[in-house]
Amino acid sequence: MMLMISLTQGKWTWFPSFSLLSSNRPIFLIEALFDTTILSWNIKGAHNSKARRQLKEMIGRYKPSFLAILETHVPFGRLSTFLTNNGYVPVHIIKANGHSGGMWLLKHVANNTTSLITASNQYSITFTISLGNATTTCTCVYASPNATMRTPFWNYLINLNSAITIPWILIGGFNETILPSDQRGEIFNHTRAALFSSFMNDCDLLDLTTIGGRFSWHRNHNGLRILSKKLDRGIANINWRLSFPEAFVEVLYRLNSDHNPLLLVLVAFPLLGDQDLFVLRQPGLIMKIMQLWLLELGILLITTQPLHLTR
């Protein structure tokens, strides 16, 4: 029997898979990168003082390894001192077009991984994260709010996928929904959702487990919320999901922007309840538990560190 392991709402779930696992196909865990976290936020203007205050608070609370700041609207120089003072240095900068667009990828100065830009355009930054022999590819996304511009971008990502042979994660603002349950209010657009789903299928991408808020974008009118959608998300290929089986995305609170920030966590257990911090960061213990579980199923677990286990 073929099984997939998923972490949903703090619980491990086993469910049948089409062809993801088999007794002769090993699982590769990239535990060297387990402590990596990525904070992605469509900030809707980095010059706003309220946005800077929220960004500083999130940096202090979550200490992400990488920051992906979308729709900056201003030159990077306007906030370079602020970001340096908070411990981040630029990896790649996409300039804003007038007062629209702009994407900044930054890395914490204490992070010991190596990052290399492999591709970029107006709507995305693709880079590798490496530590020793452990490597993964990440694409930070800000898809155009113009629906006619998104289809060419999906095709760009499909072409990009053809050159990627290692685990791949995409995170950010896709400005599109997949299912009717991804929105509240307004008529669901089946045609656009089908195009987005087709792109995901072509690249063998899976929607990552999400905790926190159900939606990531909101529109208010006269103080009343009239529309909510899940426009921001994390998606990954099968190799990435098997390499980081506990990974999930948390939808964080929002103040200034109409988009919620996203926090990608590669290994941790979320606390059940109102807390939004993560307390169990013991990759070694987690891998030992997984090893014992998978041995019972006759599935081989391969790690880059030796495990000393008894049954």
> What are the pLDDT tens digits along the chain (311 aa)?
333 443 333 333 333 333 333 333 344 567 889 899 999 999 988 888 888 999 999 999 999 999 999 999 989 999 999 999 999 999 999 998 876 789 999 999 999 999 999 999 999 999 999 999 899 999 999 999 999 999 999 999 999 999 999 999 999 999 999 999 999 988 999 999 999 999 999 999 999 989 988 899 888 656 666 789 999 999 999 999 999 988 999 999 887 788 899 999 998 544 433 343 343 344 454 555 555 555 555 554 444 444 444 33
Whole-structure pTM value: 0.79
Domain membership flag for residue 43: yes
Nearest in space to 279 (alpha carbons), one of 92, 71, 46, 10: 10
Q: Is residue 13 part of a domain?
A: no
Domain enclosing residue 97, as ranges:
31-280
Looking up residue 95, the CATH number of its domain turns out to be 3.60.10.10
In a domain, 81, yes or no: yes
How much is the pLDDT for 208?
Answer: 94
Two structure tokens written together for 122? 């107006």
pLDDT score for 287: 55
pLDDT for the residue 144: 93
* 295 domain residue, yes or no: no
Give residue 182's pLDDT: 94
Please report whether residue 201 resides in a domain: yes
pLDDT at 298: 53
pLDDT the model gives residue 5: 41
Overall number of domains in the chain:
1
**pLDDT score recorded for residue 223:** 62
Residue 229 lies in a domain: yes
pLDDT value of residue 289: 53
Q: How do residues 160-214 score in pLDDT, each as one tens digit?
A: 999 999 999 999 999 999 999 999 988 999 999 999 999 999 999 999 989 988 8
Predicted confidence at residue 279, as pLDDT, reads 37
Residue 200 covered by a domain: yes
Residue 26: inside a domain, yes or no?
no
